[in-house]
Amino acid sequence: MSDANTPATTHGRHSAAGPPTPDATSADDTVRALTGGSSAADWLARYSGSLLGVFGTPQRVLVRGSGCDVWDADGAQYLDLLGGIAVNALGHAHPFVTSVITSQLATLGHISNFFTSPPQVALAEKLLALSAAPEGSRVFFTNSGAEALEAAVKLARRNSTPERQRILALDGAFHGRTMGALALTSKEAYRRPFEPLPGGVEHLPFDDIDALTAAMDAGVAALVIEPIQGEAGVRPLSAEYLRAARDLTRQHGALLILDEVQSGIGRTGRWFAHQAVDGVVPDAMTLAKGLGGGFPIGALVTFGEEVSTLIGAGQHGSTFGGNPVATAAGLATLHALETTGALRNASDVGAFLRRGLAVTEGVVAVRGDGLLIGFDLDGDHAPAAVQAALDAGFIINATGPATIRLAPPLILTQEQAATFLDALPGILDTVRTPTDSTSQEAPA
């Protein structure tokens, strides 16, 4: 793959000395003037004195990105193998996306949904085309993944009657932090402090067709599933399960809602992960993360006329959702992904990474598709591995005590991926304890 987004600096220098930062721009100087220059330590002190503590202490203070690389306030360079959690599909500061966003902002930035704009209409049409949605399908734009799920929950409610109130989701599911999305999310630690949550949601065992068959009846309004559970450590549902989910929901009059917030927008080498399974067309699909290439935007896609008319005029809305800048960002992102062969690259480099991980000592399981990858370590040292990886110049993520997730930009090159595979044994060496190779594998 070659495009204008090749990182400005060759990756491989991980020392904190001699910051290899690209030249400062005037915008960068302005931001520095607005924020006031500080060292990384000062920024972290100011952070803990001003930000709500929900995210804990940030791992680094980042100041710049280019392609798949980012730089911190102390000048250290990192290969970003998390991509802002599956968001930076085209890496950082992609020239085309940046220029489309800035020119749209300089032309018309926000207008409210009393009005529409060309990028809004064009992005909706583009999403319908990429999802091969049938006649009558529609799009609702949001600003985040959770909001796309909120819209989906409201859609499910509109498919409800007094006898049809149940919404099914899966163990391990992550659908977001707002109250409706949280009701669908399975993790107790996320849910418990905020109960009561909107009711009617039941969680079923993961990838268990018998359990689904037993749970389905005319009282189910919707089944909400991720084709690949990202936050649970990159766990793909089987093709058989997705087919059964499609058949059973159709049979019982329930909506099949696919949450592709993390797995969508080319990440698996297909526009949407469910497109790997023939015959599985959802009733609705939620999108966000990669859609804006780093600019906040989400969407609910409703499939077919019947589903698309469940929610009518005045029944849902958003002030920011679908504004000209966000939708221009989405259009630019999809265009750049399409014209640079990024999906093919995601397949190829993802396969290369999985092959390398599978033969790395200390890695006991590898999962995923394209550039959404999870792997299990031979002990509960994933958080320590994340720290060691940072020190070695790589951004990775622990989704559990023994599980690492990679969700890098889809423009990651094989050479960049190889630098990580080369460094990983050393990273794991520093965190593995002698007993790890014989210790029990932690549950996903």
Ligand X SMILES: *Cc1c(COP(=O)(O)O)cnc(C)c1O
Beta carbon nearer to ligand X, 145 or 294: 145
Crossing angle (nearest 10°) for helices 95-105 and 324-339: 160
Whether omega before 227 lies within 30 degrees of 0, making that bond cis, reads no
Rounded CA-CA distance 175/181 in Å is: 5
The token pair that represents 73 in the structure block: 């306030």
Q: Where does 285-374 have alpha helices with state H?
A: 304-308, 324-339, 342-358
Minimum CB–partner distance for residue 231 and ligand X (Å): 6
Minimum CB–partner distance for residue 229 and ligand X (Å): 7
Minimum CB–partner distance for residue 258 and ligand X (Å): 10
Dihedral angle over CA of 417, 421, 426, 428, nearest 10:
100
Placement of tokens 């599978």 in the chain: 358
Bridge partners of residue 255, in order along the sequence: 222
Beta carbon nearer to ligand X, 176 or 293: 176
DSSP reduced 3-state for 406: strand
Rounded CA-CA distance 50/20 in Å is: 30
Among the listed residues 392, 413, 356, the one whose alpha carbon sits nearest the alpha carbon of residue 16? 392
Minimum CB–partner distance for residue 106 and ligand X (Å): 26
Rounded CA-CA distance 132/76 in Å is: 43
The token pair that represents 79 in the structure block: 């290969």
Minimum CB–partner distance for residue 18 and ligand X (Å): 36
Minimum CB–partner distance for residue 177 and ligand X (Å): 6
Minimum CB–partner distance for residue 36 and ligand X (Å): 29
> In the complex, which residues of this chain contact ligand X (CB under 6 A)?
144-146, 149, 174-176, 226, 230-231, 259, 261-262, 288-289
The H-or-E segment that residue 229 falls in is: strand 228-229
Minimum CB–partner distance for residue 432 and ligand X (Å): 29
Beta carbon nearer to ligand X, 288 or 431: 288
Q: What share of the chain is helix, strand, coil (3-state, %, to 5)?
A: 40, 20, 45
Cβ distance 149 to 203 under 8 Å?
no
List Cα–Cα distances, 259 to 153, 312, 434, in angstroms.
Answer: 11, 22, 40
Minimum CB–partner distance for residue 285 and ligand X (Å): 11
* Residue nearest ligand X (C-beta atom): 145
Beta carbon nearer to ligand X, 184 or 337: 184
Buried b (16+ CB within 10 A) or exposed e, 266-287: bbbbbbbbbbbbeebbbbbbbb
Cβ distance 329 to 297 under 8 Å?
yes
Minimum CB–partner distance for residue 95 and ligand X (Å): 25
Minimum CB–partner distance for residue 96 and ligand X (Å): 23
**C-beta atoms surrounding 2 within 10 Å:** 8
Cβ distance 167 to 201 under 8 Å?
yes
